[in-house]
Amino acid sequence: MTDTTPKKLHIKTYGCQMNVYDSDRMAGLLAPLGYALTDVVDDADMVLLNTCHIREKAAEKVYSELGRINKMKQARQADGGAMILGVAGCVAQAEGEEVLKRAPYVDMVFGPQTYHRLPEMVARLHREKGAQLDTDFPEESKFDHLTAPGRVEGRAAFLTVQEGCDKFCTFCVVPYTRGAEFSRPVDQVLAEARQLVAQGAVEITLLGQNVNAYHGTDADGAELGLGGLIRRLAEIDGIARLRYTTSYPAEVDDALIAAHRDVPELMPYLHLPVQSGSDRVLKAMNRRHGRDFYIDLVARLRAARPDLGLSSDFIVGFPGETDADFQDTLSLVREVGYVQAYSFKYSPRPGTPAAAMELQVPEDVKDARLKELQDLLNTQQLAFNQACVGRTLPVLLDRPGRHAGQLLGRSPYMQAVHVDAPADWLGRVADLKIVSAGGNSLGAVLADASEQPAARRSA
């Protein structure tokens, strides 16, 4: 019989939004066993770390956190209690047994493709001695085993439509940790979207490591790409906004570009990672786009949706990157113009081709390049934010602000916006007049309120 006495579950999530989605599903799978979420670690009966292996720092953080949590686990055991400690996600997938060697007090190690077996692992933990390790890439899809979506935080929800990556960029661990590309069937996606709306979501972000590789089949056997899927989702009553992330530039097709032109629910913001502006480096990275292709793609997207705001990921200090290559990255940034971006120093990942390449770039050179790139990107971001001052933007108010009477939300371009507004506006998409801009956020007033002085003057 399943033990359903009330228990507390703490999940700490690292890395990408797909991990956030997965953590919510893990909570959903454990709820029938009596586990309710808590924010307090040392009070938890089960602690799960949903980990990220993308860069060395991300992976190392997990081990120091495990050490810290083990102290709490020991303290609980000394008091006659117990704490189940699990490592999920990509560190678990990539390092498997190694996790148990470095942290022998861990009870469960399982990858991103096997967490649907969590209830079974927990049961086995109670039955058998020793830790549970499950890092298969199983035949059955976890998506067929997931219960209803977990919480919808605020009004914006994530929906995983695609998973895995077959692109094998030479720096990247994702193809090894997440496995081959897989798309969920159209009807499964539509059903989950309807459920999310029923739970209060008005904005849905479609997730996939390579989301625009999406190709699903609907109930009638028709194949849909991401553009087609977006059109179907936009027809669902209650969905005001759609987004998707992350895209692989070489696979953006005409149907997706057309969706940006035709679907008003699709927000004018796109994360389109270029990584580098140098053809030589892009080739060594095994990216399937060159500089000119990317710049032309941006032009085609902007022709379809002129107000499109672009974001990207950049890596500096990839093996063999020269000063001239780096200058090419800076010039690409100037040419494209980004509303925001993420940039990283190249971090060698064991088992990936780039880690074994010669001409690794010294750390101090990486530091200097990262700073120069980030200065430029920050300048562009601030300029974009400042250019929004005076405009009225629809903002999804989905969180309470820092002080009483304040609400926080997101603009169509993913900018954080704060505004003094009535508490019952939470959850609305409100037209706000932008009145101030910083590097990371915008200040706004209610568009109607800003009209009042003028209205009074004319009265």
Contact residues: ligand SAH, CB under 6 A: 16, 54-55, 171-172, 174, 209-210, 246, 273, 275, 313, 315, 344, 346-347, 349
In the complex with ligand F3S, the residue whose CB is nearer, 171 or 384, is 171
Toward ligand SAH, which CB reaches closer, 69 or 282? 282
Q: Which partner in ligand SAH, ligand F3S, none is near 54 (CB below 5 to 8 A by kind)?
A: ligand SAH
DSSP string for residues in 80-107: T---EEEEEHHHHHHHTHHHHHH-TT--
Q: At which residue do the structure tokens 């508490």 appear?
A: 423
* Nearest distance from C-beta of residue 274 to ligand F3S, angstroms: 11
CB of 193 to ligand SAH, least distance (A): 20
The Cα–Cα gap between 395 and 310 comes to 18
Q: CA–CA distance from 349 to each of 13, 63, 193 (Å)?
A: 21, 16, 36
168 binds, among ligand F3S, ligand SAH, none (CB under 5 to 8 A by kind): ligand F3S
Collapsed DSSP state (helix, strand, coil) of residue 297: helix
d(CA 277, CA 316): 10
Tokens for 372, please give them: 């120069």
Please, what is the minimum distance in Å from the beta carbon of residue 370 to ligand F3S? 18
Residue 165 or 432 with smaller CB distance to ligand F3S: 165
Cβ 394 to ligand SAH, closest distance in Å?
26
Comparison of 67 and 168: residue with beta carbon closer to ligand SAH: 168
Q: Which does 228 bind (CB under 5 to 8 A by kind): ligand F3S, ligand SAH, none?
A: none
Footprint of ligand F3S on 196-235 (CB under 6 A):
209-210
String of contacts with ligand F3S for each residue 385-424, x by CB under 6 A? ----------------------------------------
Q: Is 252 in the site for ligand F3S (CB under 6 A)?
A: no
CB of 172 to ligand F3S, least distance (A): 3
Residues 99, 133: Cα–Cα separation, whole Å: 10
Minimum Å gap between C-beta 357 and ligand F3S is 16
CB of 155 vs ligand SAH, minimal distance in Å: 23
Alpha helices in 263-340 (DSSP H): 279-284, 291-304, 323-336
Q: Rule CB under 6 A: which of 65-104 touch ligand F3S? A: none
- Of these partners, ligand F3S, ligand SAH, none, which one is at the site of residue 346 (CB under 5 to 8 Å by kind)? ligand SAH
**Cβ atoms within 10 A of the Cβ of 60, count?**
11
Exposure string (b/e) for 217-234, b if CB count within 10 Å is 16 or more? ebeeeeebbbbbbbbbbb
| Residues of span 166-195 touching ligand F3S by CB under 6 A | 167-169, 172, 174-175
Question: Toward ligand SAH, which CB reaches closer, 51 or 347?
Answer: 347
Question: Shortest CA distance to 235 belongs to which of 190, 196, 270?
Answer: 190
User: CA-to-CA distance for 322 and 331, rounded, in angstroms?
Assistant: 14
Pick 131 or 165: Cβ nearer ligand F3S = 165
Calpha distance 153→396 (Å, rounded): 13
Is the omega angle on the peptide bond into residue 246 within 30 degrees of 0, that is, cis?
yes
- Stated as kind and residue range, the H or E segment containing 67 is helix 56-78
**Binding mask 130-169 vs ligand F3S (x if CB under 6 A, - otherwise)?**
-----------------------------------x-xxx
Pairing of strands 203-207, 340-345: unpaired
In this structure, the chain runs to a length of: 459
Question: Taking CB under 6 A as the rule, does residue 248 contact ligand F3S?
Answer: yes
How far apart are CB 292 and ligand F3S at their closest, in Å? 19
Q: Which is nearer to ligand SAH, 35 or 248 (CB)?
A: 248
Q: How far apart are CA 349 and CA 91, in angstroms?
A: 12
- Determine the straight-line distance between the first and last CA of the chain, rounded to whole angstroms: 73
Q: How many CB atoms lie within 10 A of CB 12?
A: 14
Distance in Å, CB of 167 to ligand SAH, minimum:
8
| Residues of the shown chain interacting with ligand F3S in the complex, contacts defined by CB under 6 A | 165, 167-169, 172, 174-175, 209-210, 248
